[in-house]
Amino acid sequence: MAGQTELKKTVKIYIMGKEYEVPAGITIMKAVEYAGYQYIRGAGCRGGFCGACATIYRLKGDYRLYTALACQTTVQDGMYLVQIPFAPAEKVKYNIEELKPTGATVLALYPEVARCVACNACTKACPQELQVMDAIQMIKRGDIAKAAELCFDCISCGLCSIRCPAEIIHYHVFQLVRRLYGKYIAPKAKHLEIRVKEIEEGKFDMELDRLVKMNLAELKKLYDSRDIEEVEG
């Protein structure tokens, strides 16, 4: 009986100003759909990896503005929310082959990075709990490797940029930093070079051709047998 009572429990939330009653314990994303909305944009992986469902909300009696991903965050009673389809920002064009892995390179393309006042609003807004401000400070110090490490799990939701008083476009900056690190600083993966060469030489062409020609039933059977093969291997 206790379990049944729990399932029937509901909370009131406000989506774009309109009140809805939804089941307690479900994610914001599921609550939005439960309320009758259909996702055309603002949803992707539904697992906290794509950053497409950036959400801002306030709670009843609380002045603070909170940030979250709709796919990860459960609804709370009295939640006033709205989803942001994307954080608008111009992406600077560059040729990675012509760049150097330095802080000066990043500052030349994104000069607003120098305006960082270390307020930490970006870090507080990050749904991935990344040390966003620290990554920006590492860029200013010229430590591209450390900056890339700190922003490795950035999902480009843009919530940090929305809260930033210096108006830094963090997700574009971090993408550039990771590219510079990957091309010029990270140790070369020898096994990857070998595999690329094998692909170019056609080592896997026959196997790929076999898979392409399989019907759905054959593909399902092969997929289901993978665990057995892994254990035997």
Contact 89, 161 (CB under 8 A): yes
C-alpha 167: how far from its chain's center? 20
Interstrand relation of 10-15 and 79-83 (parallel, antiparallel or unpaired): parallel
Give the least confident one: 37-41, 150-154, 193-197, 218-222. Answer: 37-41
| DSSP string for the chain | -HHHHHHH-EEEEEETTEEEEEETT-BHHHHHHHTT---SSS-SSSSSSS-TTEEEEEETT--PPEEEETTTPBP-TTEEEEE-S----PPPP--GGG--SSHHHHHHH-GGGGG-----HHHHH-TT---HHHHHHHHHHT-HHHHHHHTTT-----HHHHH-TT---HHHHHHHHHHHIIIIISPP-HHHHHHHHHHHTTTTHHHHHHHHH--HHHHHHHHHTHHHHHHH-
| Burial of 176 from C-beta contacts in 10 A (0-12 / 13-18 / 19+) | buried
As a whole number of angstroms, the distance between CA 166 and CA 106 comes to 16
Q: 194-218 pLDDT, tens per residue?
A: 999 999 999 999 999 999 999 999 9
Each as own residue / partner, the long-range contacts of residues 211-217 (CB below 8 Å, 24 or more positions apart, any chain) are: none
Lowest model confidence (mean pLDDT) among 55-69, 80-94, 99-113, 196-210 = 80-94
Sign of the C-alpha dihedral, residues 150, 154, 156, 158? negative
In this structure, the number of other CB atoms found within 10 A of the CB of residue 163 comes to 20
Lowest mean pLDDT segment, chosen from 43-47, 126-130, 193-197, 228-232: 228-232
Indicate whether 228 pLDDT > 90: no
pLDDT at 153 over 60: yes
C-beta neighbour count of 159 within 10 angstroms: 27
Conformational region of residue 71, where left means phi above 0, alpha means psi within -120 to 50, and beta covers everything else: alpha
pTM above 0.85, yes or no: no
Residue 4, pLDDT score: 52
Paired tokens of 59: 């709670």
Query: According to the model, what pLDDT value does residue 229 have?
Result: 52
